[in-house]
C-alpha cells in the first residue's frame, strides 16, 4: 500500500482542486444552457478522480506521481472535450479515458519486469506482425482504419508501444556480436531495422505518413541508446555516420515525397483557406481569437471545423480556455514525461523504454501543435491523452503505464526470485 | 548508472527542443495574431473618419446614414468584403480591427483611421459630374494630405454587391490610382525634360512652325487640333496652344534633345520606359500605378506621340498631380501623398501619425521654377474666368481612347497660394457626352475644399 499518506492526500487534493476550478470556470463562464449539464460533468469528472485514487492503491508502486498526473490530464481532457460546441458530458471521450486508465495499468503490469519482458520479445514482434497484417487485410483499400459498425480502430496506433518495446528489448543484445563475412553484426539490429522499414513502407502504402515521424523519433531514440550501450562498443564515428545517413535519407524522402505530401510541405494556408490550409488557418484564427484567456468553455467557433477535437485540439482548447491554459496542459504532459529525469529508472531497459515513450509523446505533440499552427506540415496526428480517439487514448494510456513501470520496476527473475542486487528505493508520491 | 544517464540526456534533449519550439510558437502567435484575425470572418472593425470627423466607413454596421452617403468615397475607402482589394479599408484591416491579443475582440473598441479627406469637398466634386464619369484628385502639395479623391462610377458599400455582374466597368476601383492616356498633360513632362536637357535659354530660343500638321522624317503625319495651324511659336506659346507639331519637331531635334536623355529624364520622373518593370506608388497600402511609355526612335511616330500624350504613354491621375507638386513647390521634389492622418488603437490611443515625405529630386529647382511660371502664365491667360478667384498654374489635355472613339478631358495644375496650396488632376471621360468641363470641376473642387 501507499506509504506516505500526507503526500498522497496532498496530491489527491491538488487534482480535485484543479478539476473543481475548471468546472467552476465552466459553470460561470461556459455556454451551458442547463446547470444540470455542468453537474453531470462534475459528477463524472470528480467521480472518476475518486475512483482512480482508490484503484491506484491496489497497485503496489514505489511512486504514484505519474498516476496523479495522468488522472489530472485525462479529466482535464474530459472537461475540454465536453465543452466543445456547448457544455455536455462527452460520454464517448469519457469512456475512452477509462479505457486509457485501464490500458495504463495493463502497461504497468506487462512492463514492470524487464527480465520477463525480455524473454517475450518474439511475441512483441509477432504482435506487430499481426497488427501489420490486420492493416493490410482488414482496413480496406490502403487505409489505416478498421471500421466495425460505428467504431473505428486504428491498429497502427497499437504498433507504437510495441515498437518502443522492440527498441528496448534489442538494447540488451548489443554485446552479442557475430562475425558475418568481414563485419561484426548484431542480428537483433537487423530484425529491428527490418521492422522499421516495414512500418515505414506500410505508412507509405497507406498514404498516411502522419505517424511516420513518431516511429522515426522512437527509432532514433532507441538507435542512439543502442549504439551507446556500454558493451556495444560503437565509436563516435559510427554515431556521426548514422546521423549523416539519416539526414541524407530524410532529404531524399522529402525530395521524392508523394504529391499529397509535397502539397502539404508547400501549402500557403492563407491563400488556400478552403483547401490545404483550411484547418491550419482556422486553428490560428481561433488561437488569436481566444487570446491569453480564451472566450470561455463552449463559446468557441472552431468546434464547427472538422477534426477540432483531435487534429487541431490545441487550437480548440486555446480558443475556449486561452493560450495560457493550453500551454499549462502541455506543461503538465511535459512534467509527466520528465519524471524519469527526477526519478531515474533503475535499469537500462527501462530507461530506454522511458526515452522511447518520451519520444512518442514529444513527436506526437510536435506534429499536432506545430502542424496545426503551420510551423511544420500538417499531418493530423493526436495529442496523447488530450485528443479524442479511442486508439490514441488506449495507446497513450499504455505508454504512461510503461513510464510507471520504469518508475516502479519489479526486480524478480521469471522464476519468482528477487534479484540478488535489486536496488532499494525510498517510496515517494 | 552512466548508461541510464544517457537516456536521461535524450529525454532532456527532446523536452528542451520541444519547449524551444513552443517558445517560438508563442512568439509567432503573439506577433501575428492581428494578421490571423484579419483573415477571420468575425472581424469587428472600427470607423474611418474624414478630416472633419465625418464618417467615411462604419465597421460596426450600426450607424444610420442617408442614401448614398458613402458613394463618393466607396471605391477608395472600400470595405472588408473582399470585392475591392486596393482600397484603404482592405489594405488597413489590421489598423481597423478592434482586436488585441490581451483583450480579444472588443465590440465597442476605438480602433479608427482618421483620414485627410474632406468629405464635403469630395461629395461636391462627385456630384458635379452628374451623369458623366471620370475621376478627380487633389492634395495639399506642402503636406501631402489627400483632400479629394473621387472616381465615378462608384458604389455605396452599405448597399452590398447585389447585381455585381451588372456593375459598370470601373465601379470597384478608384480610377485615380490607375493609368490612363494623359493627352496633352504629358507635354508638361516633355517640357520638363527639355528644360533639364537643353536649359531654359536654349529651349526658349527654339521656334517651330505649325501649319496644322507636321510630316516627320519618317513620313508620318502628326496632326494638330488646330487644323489651320498655329504658325511660328516658341515653347511658351506651344504649351499654351498644346501644339502637337511643335512638340513632334522638338522631340525630333536629336542634336539638342537626344532621345536617350529624354528617356533618362522620364525614368527619373518615374516612367517605366519601353521594357522597364511597371512600379507602384504606395499610398497607405493602396497601390497606385506609375507611368509608362514607349520611346524607341525620335523620328518614330509612336515615340513622338508618346511625348505628346498619346501613343503608348499611360499615367495615373495621382502621378500627374504629384508632378504638379514638384513644380508648385519649386523644388523638383514631389510631395508624397497620404490618406491617413492618424490611427487610434482599440483603447483610443493614437498609434500612427502621418509625416510629410518628399521624393528624391526628379528635376532641378530651376526647371521647377521655369515650368511653374509657364503654367501660371497659361493659367493667367486662359483660366482666369473659368477658375475665378484662384491663381492657378494649369495644363489641359484631351486624350483619345477606345481607338479614338471617345475623348477624355484632363486638367492638371496647382493653386499658387500659400493658404491654399493645392495640386490637382481632373479627368472627365468621354467629354463629348455632356457639357461638363474640367475647369468647372476644378472651380467646384477648390471652392469646396476647407483646409482649416
Contact list, B6 vs chain A (CB under 8 Å): 224-225, 228, 351
Q: What is the ipTM of this complex?
A: 0.90
Percent of chain A exceeding pLDDT 90 equals 40
- A380: which 3 cell numbers? 493530423
Interface contact B101, partner A, CB < 8 A: yes
Nearest-Cα distance to chain B for A239, in Å, is: 14
- Beta-carbon-side half-sphere exposure of residue B198 (alpha carbons within 13 Å): 20
Q: How far is A346 from chain B (nearest CA, A)?
A: 8
* CB-based contact B3 A338, cutoff 8 Å: no
d(CA B307, CA B326): 19
Mean pLDDT of B193-210: 94
Q: What is d(CA B12, CA B4) in angstroms, rounded to the nearest whole number? A: 12
What is the rounded CA–CA span in Å between residue A296 and residue A320? 5
Tell me how crowded residue B386 is: count the other CB atoms within 10 A of its CB: 16
pLDDT average, residue stretch B59-86: 91
CA distance B285 to chain A (A): 19
C-alpha cell at A4: 506516505
For residues B95 and A171, the model is more confident at B95
User: B19 touching A, CB under 8 A?
Assistant: yes
Above 90 in pLDDT, residue B37?
Answer: no
* Residues from chain B contacting residue A406 (CB–CB below 8 Å): none
**Distance from the B291 Cα atom to the nearest Cα atom in chain A, whole angstroms:** 30
DSSP codes of every residue in A138-195: HS-TT-S-EEETTEEE-HHHHHHHHHHHHHHHHHGGGG--EEETTEEE-HHHHHHHHH
Q: How far apart are CA A315 and CA A287, in angstroms?
A: 5
Q: Which residues of chain A lie closer than 8 angstroms to B26, CB-CB?
A: 323, 327
More confident residue, A210 or B46: B46
> Are A385 and A393 in contact, with CB atoms under 8 Å apart?
yes
Nearest-angstrom CA–CA distance, B179 and B174: 11
For A338, the closest of B2, B11, B22 (CB atoms) is B11
What pLDDT score was predicted for residue A231? 57
From the list A346, A358, A373, the residue facing B11 with the nearest CB is: A358
What gap in Å lies between CA B363 and CA A194, rounded to an integer?
75
Q: Determine the pLDDT at residue B234.
A: 94
Closest residue in B to A288 (Cα–Cα):
B33
Residue B11 contacts A, CB cutoff 8 Å: yes
CB nearest to A289's CB, from B18, B26, B37: B37
User: Residues A311-329: what's their mean pLDDT?
Assistant: 94
| Nearest-CB residue to A285 (from B12, B25, B40) | B40
Q: pLDDT tier at A235 (50, 70, 90 boundaries)?
A: low
Yes or no, beta carbons of A358 and B36 under 8 Å apart: no
Average pLDDT of the residues in B355-380? 96
Contact B29 A273 (CB under 8 A): no
According to the model, what pLDDT value does residue B196 have?
96
Please give the torsion angle defined by the CA atoms of residues B294, B297, B298 and B301, in that order, rounded to the nearest 10 degrees. Answer: -70
> Cα dist. A228→A163, A343, B10 in Å?
19, 21, 11
Mean pLDDT of chain B: 93
Cβ(B243)–Cβ(B251) below 8 Å: no
- Residues in chain B within 8 Å Cβ distance of A341: 8, 11-12
Q: Which residues pair with B113 in a beta bridge?
A: B48, B343
Work out the minimum CA distance from B133 to partner chain A, whole angstroms. 35
CA distance A186 to A178: 6
> pTM for this structure?
0.74
Q: Does B20 touch chain A (CB under 8 A)?
A: no
Chain B nearest CA to A6, separation (Å): 29
Q: Which of B451, B442, B346 is nearest to B137 (CA)?
A: B442
Q: CA Rg, chain B, in Å?
A: 26
Residues in chain A: 429
Amino acid at each position: 500500500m501507499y506509504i506516505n499518506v500526507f503526500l498522497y492526500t496532498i496530491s489527491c487534493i491538488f487534482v480535485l482542486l484543479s478539476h473543481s476550478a475548471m468546472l467552476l470556470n465552466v459553470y460561470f463562464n461556459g455556454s451551458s444552457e442547463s446547470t444540470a449539464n455542468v453537474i453531470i460533468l462534475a459528477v463524472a469528472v470528480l467521480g472518476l478522480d475518486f475512483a482512480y485514487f482508490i484503484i491506484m492503491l491496489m497497485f503496489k508502486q514505489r511512486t504514484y506521481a505519474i498516476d496523479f498526473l495522468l488522472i489530472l490530464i485525462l479529466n482535464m481532457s474530459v472537461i475540454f472535450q465536453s465543452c466543445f460546441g456547448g457544455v455536455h458530458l462527452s460520454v464517448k471521450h469519457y469512456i475512452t479515458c477509462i479505457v486509457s486508465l485501464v490500458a495504463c495499468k495493463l502497461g504497468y503490469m506487462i512492463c514492470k519486469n524487464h527480465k520477463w519482458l525480455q524473454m517475450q520479445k518474439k511475441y512483441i514482434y509477432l504482435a506487430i506482425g499481426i497488427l501489420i497484417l490486420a492493416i493490410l487485410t482488414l482496413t480496406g483499400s490502403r487505409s489505416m482504419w478498421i471500421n466495425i459498425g460505428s467504431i473505428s480502430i486504428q491498429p497502427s496506433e497499437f504498433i507504437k508501444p510495441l515498437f518502443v518495446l522492440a527498441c528496448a528489448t534489442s538494447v540488451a543484445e548489443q554485446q552479442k556480436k557475430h562475425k558475418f563475412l568481414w563485419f561484426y553484426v548484431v542480428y537483433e539490429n537487423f530484425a529491428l531495422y527490418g521492422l522499421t522499414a516495414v512500418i515505414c513502407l506500410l505508412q507509405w502504402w497507406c498514404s498516411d505518413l502522419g505517424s511516420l515521424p513518431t516511429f522515426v523519433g522512437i527509432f532514433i531514440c532507441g538507435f542512439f541508446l543502442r549504439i551507446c550501450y556500454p558493451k556495444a562498443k560503437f565509436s563516435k564515428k559510427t554515431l556521426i555516420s548514422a546521423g549523416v545517413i539519416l539526414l541524407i535519407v530524410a532529404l531524399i524522402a522529402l525530395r521524392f515525397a508523394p504529391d499529397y505530401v509535397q502539397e502539404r510541405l508547400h501549402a500557403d494556408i492563407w491563400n488556400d483557406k478552403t483547401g490545404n490550409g483550411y484547418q491550419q488557418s482556422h486553428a490560428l484564427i481561433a488561437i488569436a481569437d481566444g487570446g491569453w484567456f480564451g472566450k470561455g468553455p463552449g463559446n468557441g467557433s472552431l468546434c464547427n471545423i472538422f477534426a477540432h477535437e483531435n487534429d487541431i485540439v490545441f487550437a480548440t482548447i486555446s480558443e475556449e480556455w486561452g493560450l495560457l491554459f493550453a500551454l499549462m496542459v502541455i506543461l503538465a504532459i511535459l512534467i509527466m514525461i520528465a519524471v524519469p529525469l527526477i526519478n531515474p529508472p533503475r535499469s537500462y531497459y527501462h530507461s530506454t523504454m522511458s526515452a522511447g515513450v518520451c519520444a512518442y509523446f514529444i513527436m506526437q505533440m510536435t506534429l499536432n501543435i506545430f502542424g496545426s499552427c503551420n510551423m511544420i506540415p500538417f499531418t493530423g496526428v493526436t495529442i496523447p491523452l488530450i485528443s479524442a480517439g479511442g486508439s490514441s487514448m488506449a495507446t497513450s494510456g499504455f505508454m504512461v503505464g510503461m513510464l510507471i513501470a520504469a518508475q516502479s520496476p519489479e526486480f524478480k527473475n521469471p522464476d519468482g526470485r528477487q534479484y540478488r542486487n535489486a536496488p532499494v528505493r525510498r517510496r515517494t508520491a | 548508472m552512466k548508461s541510464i544517464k544517457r537516456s536521461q540526456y535524450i529525454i532532456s534533449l527532446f523536452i528542451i527542443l520541444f519547449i524551444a519550439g513552443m517558445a517560438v510558437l508563442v512568439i509567432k502567435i503573439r506577433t501575428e495574431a492581428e494578421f490571423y484575425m484579419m483573415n477571420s470572418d468575425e472581424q469587428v472593425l472600427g470607423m474611418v473618419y474624414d478630416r472633419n470627423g465625418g464618417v467615411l466607413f462604419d465597421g460596426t454596421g450600426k450607424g444610420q446614414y442617408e442614401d448614398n452617403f458613402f458613394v463618393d468615397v466607396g471605391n477608395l475607402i472600400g470595405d472588408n468584403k473582399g470585392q475591392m482589394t486596393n482600397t484603404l479599408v482592405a489594405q488597413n484591416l489590421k489598423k481597423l480591427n478592434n482586436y488585441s491579443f490581451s483583450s480579444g475582440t472588443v465590440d465597442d473598441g476605438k480602433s479608427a483611421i482618421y483620414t485627410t479627406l474632406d468629405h464635403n469637398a469630395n461629395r461636391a466634386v462627385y456630384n458635379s459630374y452628374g451623369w458623366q464619369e471620370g475621376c478627380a484628385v487633389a492634395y495639399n502639395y506642402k503636406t501631402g494630405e489627400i483632400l479629394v479623391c473621387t472616381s465615378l462610377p462608384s458604389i455605396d458599400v452599405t448597399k452590398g454587391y447585389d447585381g455585381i455582374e451588372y456593375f459598370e466597368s470601373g465601379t470597384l476601383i478608384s480610377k485615380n490610382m490607375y493609368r490612363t492616356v494623359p493627352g496633352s498633360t504629358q507635354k508638361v513632362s516633355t517640357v520638363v525634360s527639355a528644360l533639364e536637357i537643353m536649359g531654359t535659354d536654349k529651349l526658349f530660343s527654339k521656334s517651330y512652325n505649325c501649319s496644322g500638321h507636321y510630316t516627320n522624317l519618317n513620313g508620318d503625319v502628326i496632326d494638330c487640333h488646330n487644323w489651320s495651324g498655329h504658325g511660328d511659336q516658341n515653347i511658351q506659346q506651344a504649351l499654351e496652344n498644346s501644339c502637337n507639331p511643335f512638340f513632334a519637331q522638338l522631340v525630333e531635334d536629336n542634336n539638342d534633345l537626344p532621345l536617350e536623355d529624354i528617356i533618362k529624364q522620364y525614368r527619373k520622373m518615374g516612367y517605366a520606359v519601353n521594357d522597364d518593370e511597371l512600379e507602384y506608388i504606395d499610398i497607405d497600402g493602396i497601390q497606385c500605378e506609375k507611368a509608362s511609355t514607349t520611346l524607341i526612335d525620335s523620328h518614330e511616330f509612336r515615340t513622338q506621340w508618346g511625348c505628346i500624350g498619346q501613343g503608348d504613354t499611360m499615367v495615373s491621375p495621382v502621378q500627374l498631380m504629384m508632378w504638379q507638386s514638384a513644380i508648385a513647390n519649386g523644388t523638383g521634389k514631389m510631395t508624397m501623398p497620404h490618406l491617413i492622418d492618424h490611427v487610434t488603437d482599440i483603447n483610443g490611443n493614437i498609434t500612427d501619425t502621418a509625416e510629410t515625405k518628399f521624393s528624391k529630386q526628379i528635376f532641378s529647382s530651376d526647371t521647377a521654377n521655369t515650368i511653374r511660371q509657364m503654367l501660371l502664365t497659361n493659367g493667367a491667360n486662359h483660366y482666369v474666368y473659368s477658375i475665378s478667384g484662384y491663381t492657378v498654374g494649369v495644363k489641359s489635355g484631351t486624350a483619345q481612347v477606345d481607338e479614338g472613339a471617345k475623348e477624355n478631358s484632363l486638367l492638371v495644375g496647382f493653386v499658387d497660394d500659400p493658404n491654399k496650396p493645392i495640386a490637382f488632376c481632373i479627368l472627365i471621360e468621354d467629354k463629348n457626352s455632356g457639357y461638363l468641363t474640367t475647369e468647372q470641376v476644378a472651380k467646384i473642387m477648390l471652392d469646396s475644399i476647407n483646409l482649416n
